[in-house]
């Protein structure tokens, strides 16, 4: 790694500002529905505690628009973290200010304090240096373990690093980057990319960047219909981004020039509406009825995609193959999980929907690595530099 790691620092007796990503999903009762992001931060938190540090945790939650909002309080997170660590985690009333400084001053070594939502201050998302300096005043050392937000130039991610001599990465940050390096920078080949999800627009740069890096590419999900229409097919009422048809055609031509095989669906599950109770049928992509929409890949596509994965040494997957949240349209995505697991390849999965689908399959423990990130994962695949990572590297 080209930057320091937490295990290279002397933490004993130090106040450690640990930027984590506790932006976890909540239900209408403000109960956490998935605590995976909290669990993924535990190794770094426990390491700091084991080395007799005072641990000051900072995170955002949701989009409170730069002002306090009880719906986005981190109180449920503090309770969940207390349960997981089996020790009290106090919640500060804010993330800066005299009352917070007083709570930090009262901490004993081995204590954990969770600051209130960083985004209760508009300065966080503006990467405001004065706000970052107030955060930095709370600690002696800075650790970024929030890979999932490191594509954002925010105060607690980028500006804050200027106020510490030795900003460092936590274990989760290191792990995320190590696995993505194995996929992007130095993969065992053949490298197969599986790209799905609803829209082409969010993944244009990913597709263009991967064309020169992967050995085979599988495209499924809603975005496949834009490519199919670009090839001259009629796709009924399937999701299509008409303004990107020329771009989709250009991507297919780029791949052809480079000798890259792109696999598109040959059949799909269609219905007249996106509804769990809708009547479904499997049709060839060349025979989608004008009144129907494609909502999942069909069994022949599953078979062909499975063949494309055979012999792969590395598999990168982002985006489901259909509307897997609904029972009639989940088979394609679940079949892809099984194919990827059975390929025996090093498999790296990223993106919230794909992560959820893999966990629902019951095969998550057989995937090599499931990233906690969505946007940061995609931006790395686009070949972009992440502000949070670069801030550590520069220092």
Specify whether 97 is catalytic.
Answer: no
Select which of 37, 134, 175, 182 is catalytic.
37
Specify whether 37 is catalytic.
Answer: yes
Residue indicated by tokens 């992440």: 386
Select which of 352, 366, 383, 393 is catalytic.
352
Specify whether 105 is catalytic.
Answer: no
Axis crossing angle, helix 331-343 with helix 352-361, rounded to the nearest 10:
80
Give strand ranges (E) for the chain.
15-19, 54-58, 89-91, 112-114, 141-144, 168-169, 191-195, 216-219, 261-263, 267-271, 281-284, 293-297, 314-318, 346-350, 369-370
Cβ neighbours, 10 Å, residue 189 = 11
**By C-alpha distance, which of 59, 46, 36 is closest to 114?**
59
Burial degree of 224 (CB within 10 A; 0-12, 13-18, 19+) = buried
Specify whether 303 is catalytic.
Answer: no
Select which of 62, 202, 306, 375 is catalytic.
375
How far apart CA 238 and CA 260 sit, in angstroms, is 26
Select which of 199, 249, 303, 393 is catalytic.
199
Catalytic (active-site) positions? 37, 199, 352, 375
């Amino acid at each position: 790694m080209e930057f320091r790691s937490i295990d290279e620092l002397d933490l004993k007796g130090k106040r450690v500002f640990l930027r984590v990503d506790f932006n976890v999903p909540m239900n209408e009762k403000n109960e956490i529905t998935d605590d995976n992001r909290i669990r993924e931060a535990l190794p770094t938190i426990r390491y700091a505690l084991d080395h007799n540090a005072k641990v000051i945790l900072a995170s955002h939650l949701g989009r409170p628009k730069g002002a306090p909002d009880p719906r986005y309080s981190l109180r449920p997170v503090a309770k969940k973290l207390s349960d997981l660590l089996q020790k009290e985690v106090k919640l500060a009333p804010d993330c800066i200010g005299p009352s917070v400084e007083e709570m930090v001053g009262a901490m004993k070594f081995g204590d954990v304090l969770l600051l209130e939502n960083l985004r209760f201050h508009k300065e966080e998302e503006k990467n405001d240096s004065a706000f970052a300096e107030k955060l930095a005043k709370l600690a002696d050392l800075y650790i970024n373990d929030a890979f999932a937000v490191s594509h954002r130039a925010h105060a607690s991610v980028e500006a804050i690093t200027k106020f510490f001599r030795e900003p460092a990465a936590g274990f989760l940050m290191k792990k995320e980057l190590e696995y993505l390096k194995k996929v992007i920078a130095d993969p065992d080949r053949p490298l197969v990319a599986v790209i799905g999800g609803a829209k082409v627009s969010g993944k244009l740069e990913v597709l263009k960047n991967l064309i020169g890096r992967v050995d085979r590419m599988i495209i499924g999900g809603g975005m496949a219909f834009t490519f199919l229409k670009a090839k001259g097919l009629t796709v009924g009422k399937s999701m299509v981004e008409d303004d990107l048809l020329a771009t989709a055609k250009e991507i297919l031509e780029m791949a052809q020039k480079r000798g890259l095989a792109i696999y598109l669906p040959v059949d799909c599950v269609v219905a007249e509406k996106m509804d769990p109770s809708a009547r479904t049928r499997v049709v060839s992509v060349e025979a989608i009825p004008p009144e129907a929409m494609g909502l999942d890949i069909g069994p022949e596509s599953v078979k062909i995609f499975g063949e494309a994965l055979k012999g792969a040494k590395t598999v990168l997957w982002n985006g489901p193959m259909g509307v897997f949240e609904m029972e009639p349209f989940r088979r394609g995505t679940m079949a892809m999980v099984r194919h990827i697991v059975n390929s025996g390849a090093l498999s790296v999965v990223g993106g919230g929907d794909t992560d959820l689908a893999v966990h629902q399959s019951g095969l998550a423990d057989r995937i090599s690595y499931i990233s906690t990130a969505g946007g940061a994962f995609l931006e790395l695949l686009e070949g972009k530099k992440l502000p949070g990572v670069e801030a550590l590297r520069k220092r």
